[in-house]
Amino acid sequence: MGLPLSLTLTQAGLDALVDAQNGVTTAITIAQLGLSEQQVSVAPTLDALPGEFKRLDSFAGIAASETIIHMTAQDASQDTYDLRSIGLFLDDGTLFAAYSQADPIFRKVDIATFLVSFDVLFSETITGDIAFGDASFLYPPATEQTKGVAEIATHGETDAGEDDSRIVSPAKLAGRLAPILQSIADQAAALAAEETTRADEDDALQALIDALLARTITGSGLVTGGGSLAASRVLQVAIASAAQVRAGTDNGSAITPAALGPMTKSLGQSGYATVPGADPANTLLIQWGRSTAIANGTTTVTFPIAFTDAYSVVADGTSDTNQDAQDNYPSVRASSIGPTSFQVWNANQQSDVICYVALGRIDLS
C-alpha cells in the first residue's frame, strides 16, 4: 500500500452525501466496488463506470482519519484482469466516487483468491457520514489511533530507521541497539583514556608555562620595551620621519619605505632609475641610453621619460675607427638640454653612435 488513492466524487454521490450531512437521510452506505480494466476520464458528471466487468460485494471499510478511509476487497474467482479503474457504488446503485490511472492498480491471476487493501483520500471531512454494507472482514493498517494489521520490519528496515509503517520486534531492536551500545561503551573507554592522557599533558604544559613566566624579554638597539612574560609586552621600533631621513643625523629610528619615498626604474640599453631621498617632489633621476648622431649635423635625442628639471647630460661617441677620420666626436649642446630631450652636434663625415648619461629632478609626489 502506497499513497492514498484520491477519488473524485460524482455529482450524484455528492448530493447523497450532502443529504446525509444535513440530516435529510441517514449515513450513506457504500455497498459495492466496481472494477474496470479501462482507463477512464473521471469527472463529477460520471454516473457509471465505463468498461465495468464486475462488482465485488466482499467489501469493507473503516475510517483511518477524518479524510482517509481504509478499504479491503476480496475476489475469490478465477478471473484474470489488470485493474485500472474503480468505482464505489451505494446500496441503491448510485456511483458515489471513481478513480482511474493508466498503469494497472493491481493485477489478478486465476490461481489465487485476491485480497487487496487500499486507502482512499477525500478532500473534505466526510468519513463520519459513510457506512459500509459488508463488515464481515476488514484488515485496516495499524496506526497510532487504529488497531489493525502490521508487518514486522526486517533487519535491514530496522537498521535503516526510515519506515514508519512497520513494527520492530524486541529481537531486532536488540540487534539494532547492540552495536550502538557497544560503540557508546568503546567511546566511554576512549574518553577515559583520553582524559588521563590530557591530565598528563596538562601537567607538562603547566611546567612549560611556569618556565616561560620566569623569563623576560627586553629590547635593545632600535627596539625598546619588554619585561617579564607574566604580562603582555610590547616591543617598539621608532620610525624616522622624512625630515629625519633628509637630515641624516638621527641614530635612534628606522627608515621605512614611506619615509624614504617612492622609487621607479627601467633597466635596459636606454633606461632610468630614481634615487629616493625622503622628498618625493625633488627626487634625483638618472637616465642613460644610446643614439645615433647624424653626419655633419644636429641630432635630437629623447629621454626615456621626462625630467621635471634636467640638469646635465654627458655624451661620448667613439665608434669611428677610421684612421683618416677627423677627431671631431659628437658633443652635447648644453643650451638644448630640456625636460624631454637634448641635441648633439656631430662634425664627422659619417654618423656616429653615442652613449649618454643624464641627471635631473623628477616630481613623484
Do 332 and 315 touch, CB atoms closer than 8 A?
yes
Predicted pLDDT of residue 2: 47
Predicted pLDDT of residue 274: 94
Instruction: Write out the H or E segment, with its range, that includes residue 173.
Output: helix 170-213
Instruction: Select 265-362's CATH number: 1.20.1050.10, 3.40.50.300, 2.60.40.3940, 3.40.30.10.
Output: 2.60.40.3940
Predicted pLDDT of residue 1: 43
Predicted pLDDT of residue 355: 92
Regions of the chain with pLDDT less than 50: 1-2
Q: What is the pLDDT of residues 125-169, one digit of tens each?
A: 665 677 776 655 555 566 776 666 677 888 888 888 888 878 888
The boundaries of every CATH 2.60.40.3940 domain in the chain are 265-362
Predicted pLDDT of residue 107: 86
Measured at the CA of 120, the angle between CA 117 and CA 125, to 5 degrees, comes to: 140
* pTM, 2 dp: 0.41
Predicted pLDDT of residue 142: 67
Do 116 and 33 touch, CB atoms closer than 8 A?
no
Predicted pLDDT of residue 126: 64
Predicted pLDDT of residue 260: 83
Do 1 and 36 touch, CB atoms closer than 8 A?
no
Predicted pLDDT of residue 352: 86
Pairing, β 5-6 against β 114-121: parallel
Predicted pLDDT of residue 128: 67
